[in-house]
Structure formats: structure tokens, C-alpha cells
């Protein structure tokens, strides 16, 4: 999983794709507004993990005291430096699983956007949480997004791909068939009974394998190192404040904002 995903993220076409992205997602805007209200961003030292080609850089680098963008893809970092030539020193090639070049308690705000956390294995994911806890300051914030297993449960049910429009139904069922072909060993029952799964999914023509997790299981993973966990719909930007909201949500992915212990 890790090696194949890495090869995708150093490929020219995918780096080019991320270089075209400009906008914050709705949940990211909500979280930015929340941080502006709750704390003084101008005094914050920020770490932007999985910075890609710098989509989030223009929104955050100018409003925090210090900004550092990192990615494990040298090609992505090169794209960042090309995009922000006067700020090339704020980008580094760093793997989030080992951020040993950063001392303990270095950052007030750590962001890992656009499901970057989902391209590594389960054990590596837990290692990233520990590293974030180490380099983050107590009382600081950690924000990341992750694929929602509850949405995938719907995707694995062919009935949910039917439509009154026959052309749309045809296209949906073709994509459903391809999804199942790439994930032959994963059954709908397995998805329903699991807390997390690794799935080879549609983005970038099924080149990537992604980690999907249920919101409650994600909360369980975070409890050891983080407090006051908030969850937001990536599409609407609204907070999912109740257990019913979480259980019923089928957004493709969700944003998590938590305080570092």
C-alpha cells in the first residue's frame, strides 16, 4: 500500500493535478474561522503535513507567525517551491511517520489535509498520531481529514447506484463493477462489520489505496493523545455534534479537529 501510493504521488500527472488546486474545502474554512475566533493565529507556529503542491499554503502562511509545509514526495515539495519562489525555505521533504528533525513541543497548530493520512498503513497511522502529539504543543490543535467507512458501505451496495436516469445508472454500475474488481477480497458484509478497511478506490483511476474508518473508531484512536475532538462534514462544513449525526453521516470523508494533550 505505502510503496504504490508513494509512486503515485511522485508521478508527473498527479503532481500537476495538485498544482491546479486552489480552494479550501468547506470544512477547512469552518475550522480556519473557528481558530481565528478561539485563538491568536498571528502568534501560532504551524506545521502543514502533506502540503502537496501548496493548496493550503496561501491561506495559512500569511496569517500565522511561522509556517512550515512538509511532504514525503520530493516532487510535491518542488512544486511548492516553484509556486512560492520567495518562500521556498518554508518547505521540506519530511515523512510524517518520522519527524525527528523537529523538537518536542514545536507547533501550536498541525494540519494534515485532503486525506493525506489515509495513504499509509494502520500501524503507520498510529505512529503519525504519536509524532503529532510529540511535536505539537500541549493545548495546541491538530486537524486532519479521513475517508468515511460509512460512505463506503453505501458504495458497496449496488442498489444505491440505481437512478431514474438510465445513463447515470449505467455509468454508476460500471464504476461499481470496477470498484469491486479492484477489491475482490472485500465483501459488503466485511465492510459493514469493520471499523476500518484499506480500499483501492476511484481517485486517480484506481491507482491509490486508501484507509477508510468509522467516525467512532477514529475518535477511539485519538483519545490517548488528544482531547475535545470535533468532527465536521467536508461538504457542508457543519459540525457533527451528536452521536446521531455521526452514525447517519455518509460524507465521503470527514474533518477532525482536536486539542493536543
Q: pTM of the predicted model, to two decimals?
A: 0.95
Arithmetic mean of pLDDT, 31-36: 94
Place of cell 470523508: 253
Phi, psi torsion values for 70, nearest 5 degrees:
-130, 155
Q: 138 and 173 in one domain?
A: no
pLDDT of 189 above 90: yes
Q: What is the pLDDT of residues 88-127, one digit of tens each?
A: 999 999 999 999 999 999 999 999 999 999 999 999 999 9
Instruction: Spell out the residues 6+ positions from residue 50 whose beta carbon is closer than 8 angstroms to its own.
Output: 70, 71, 72, 96, 112, 113, 114, 116, 117
242: buried, middle or exposed (CB in 10 Å: 19+, 13-18, 0-12)? exposed
Q: 157 and 140 in one domain?
A: no
What is the reported pLDDT for 100? 97
Q: 76 and 10 in one domain?
A: yes
CA-CA distance, 173 to 181, in Å (whole number)? 12
SS3 226: strand
Instruction: Please state, as a whole number, how many other Cβ atoms lie within 10 Å of the Cβ of residue 5.
Output: 18
Element (H, E) at 78: helix 74-83
Contact by Cβ (8 Å): 128, 117: yes
Q: 42 and 139 in one domain?
A: yes
Number of domain units in the chain: 2
Write down the H helix ranges in 111-214.
Answer: 122-135, 149-155, 166-182, 188-193, 203-206
Arithmetic mean of pLDDT, 119-138: 97
Q: 94 and 7 in one domain?
A: yes
Helices 74-83 & 12-19 angle (0-180, nearest 10): 40
Q: 248 and 139 in one domain?
A: yes
Closest Cα to residue 112, out of 128, 101, 100, 98? 128
Q: 44 and 124 in one domain?
A: yes
Q: 48 and 143 in one domain?
A: yes
DSSP 10-25: TSHHHHHHHHT--PPP
Q: What is the pLDDT of residues 146-180, one digit of tens each?
A: 999 999 999 999 999 999 999 999 999 999 999 99
What is the reported pLDDT for 242? 93
What is the reported pLDDT for 2? 73
At 3, the pLDDT band (50, 70, 90 cuts) reads: confident
Q: 191 and 67 in one domain?
A: no
Arithmetic mean of pLDDT, 10-39: 95
Arithmetic mean of pLDDT, 176-205: 95
pLDDT of 133 above 80: yes
Q: 116 and 6 in one domain?
A: yes
At 137, the pLDDT band (50, 70, 90 cuts) reads: very high
Residues of the domain holding 230: 2-148+214-260
From first CA to last CA, the distance across the chain in angstroms is 31
Helices 12-19 & 2-9 angle (0-180, nearest 10): 60
Instruction: Tell me the average pLDDT of the chain.
Output: 96
Amino acid at each position: 500500500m505505502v510503496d504504490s501510493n508513494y509512486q503515485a504521488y511522485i508521478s508527473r500527472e498527479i503532481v500537476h493535478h495538485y498544482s491546479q488546486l486552489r480552494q479550501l474545502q468547506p470544512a477547512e474554512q469552518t475550522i480556519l474561522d473557528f481558530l481565528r475566533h478561539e485563538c491568536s493565529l498571528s502568534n501560532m507556529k504551524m506545521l502543514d503535513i502533506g502540503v502537496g503542491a501548496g493548496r493550503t499554503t496561501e491561506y495559512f502562511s500569511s496569517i500565522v507567525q511561522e509556517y512550515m509545509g512538509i511532504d514525503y514526495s520530493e516532487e510535491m515539495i518542488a512544486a511548492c517551491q516553484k509556486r512560492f519562489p520567495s518562500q521556498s525555505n518554508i518547505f521540506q521533504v519530511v515523512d510524517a511517520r518520522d519527524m525527528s528533525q523537529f523538537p518536542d513541543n514545536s507547533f501550536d497548530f498541525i494540519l494534515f489535509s485532503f486525506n493525506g493520512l489515509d495513504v499509509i498503513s494502520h500501524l503507520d497511522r498510529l505512529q503519525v498520531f504519536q509524532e503529532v502529539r510529540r511535536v505539537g504543543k500541549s493545548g495546541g490543535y491538530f486537524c486532519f481529514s479521513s475517508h468515511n467507512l460509512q460512505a463506503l458501505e453505501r458504495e458497496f451496495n449496488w442498489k444505491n447506484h440505481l437512478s431514474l436516469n438510465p445513463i447515470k445508472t449505467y455509468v454508476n454500475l460500471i464504476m461499481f463493477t470496477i470498484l469491486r474488481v479492484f477489491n475482490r477480497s472485500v465483501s459488503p458484509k466485511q465492510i459493514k462489520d469493520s471499523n476500518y478497511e484499506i480500499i483501492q478506490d476511484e481517485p486517480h483511476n484506481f491507482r491509490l489505496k486508501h484507509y477508510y474508518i468509522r467516525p467512532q473508531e477514529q475518535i477511539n484512536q485519538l483519545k490517548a493523545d488528544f482531547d475535545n475532538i470535533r468532527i465536521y462534514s467536508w461538504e457542508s462544513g457543519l459540525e457533527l455534534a451528536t452521536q446521531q449525526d455521526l452514525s447517519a453521516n455518509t460524507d465521503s470523508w470527514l474533518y477532525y479537529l482536536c486539542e493536543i494533550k
